[in-house]
Amino acid sequence: MIRAATENDVTEIRAMIRELAAYERAVEQARATEAQLREALFGPHPAAYALVAEDDTTGGLAGYALWFPSFSTWTGTRGMHLEDLYVRPHARGGGHGRALLAALAALCLRSGFERFEWWVLAWNEPAIGFYRSLGAEFLDEWRICRLTGAPLKELAAAS
């Protein structure tokens, strides 16, 4: 079953974020605390939203999808950026990932969003194959740019 996350899910969502980070070989970068996630998802001005897939066998959560609205200056409309999609290893192949994406696609259309976008690591062949099977378009001409740490501080100091 797919449902909107609740505050009671924050502990398990955080655990799955760390599981995802370990799979992506970057667990040391997953520093978000439960308090930060609770504020981001359920505070007075949410920064993001989450759906969860319930696990019928364990009674816990099988996976989650965390997203936030984006905006396109070209279309003049909002879109949806999927930050995380994760299904626990024991539940993979059970349709949870597809169900989470289908629920997000339906939410996207109900909300009048024209784009549903996400990133995938270039080495993550299982995910790439899954996304291709859904008809996802891969935008190879675009590169992700990021400033953090010292370069971010240096640029800000130039203002």
From first to last of its 159 residues, the chain has per-residue pLDDT tens of 999 999 999 999 999 999 999 999 999 999 999 999 999 999 999 999 999 999 988 889 999 999 999 999 999 999 999 999 999 999 999 999 999 999 999 999 999 999 999 999 999 999 999 999 999 999 999 989 989 999 999 999 999
For every residue of 74-98, which 3-state class applies, written as one string? CCCEEEEEEEEEEECHHHCCCCHHH
pLDDT at position 56: 87
Q: How many helices, marked H, and strands, marked E, lie in the chain?
A: 5, 5
Contacts of 80 (CB under 8 A, 6+ apart): 67, 68, 69, 70, 104, 107, 108, 111, 113, 115, 116, 117
d(CA 38, CA 57): 26
- Which ranges constitute the DSSP H helices of 24-92? 34-42
- CATH topology for 2-157? Aminopeptidase (3.40.630)
Indicate if 64 belongs to the active site: no
* Residue 70 near residue 78, CB atoms below 8 Å: yes
> Annotated catalytic residue: which of 49, 64, 86, 131?
131
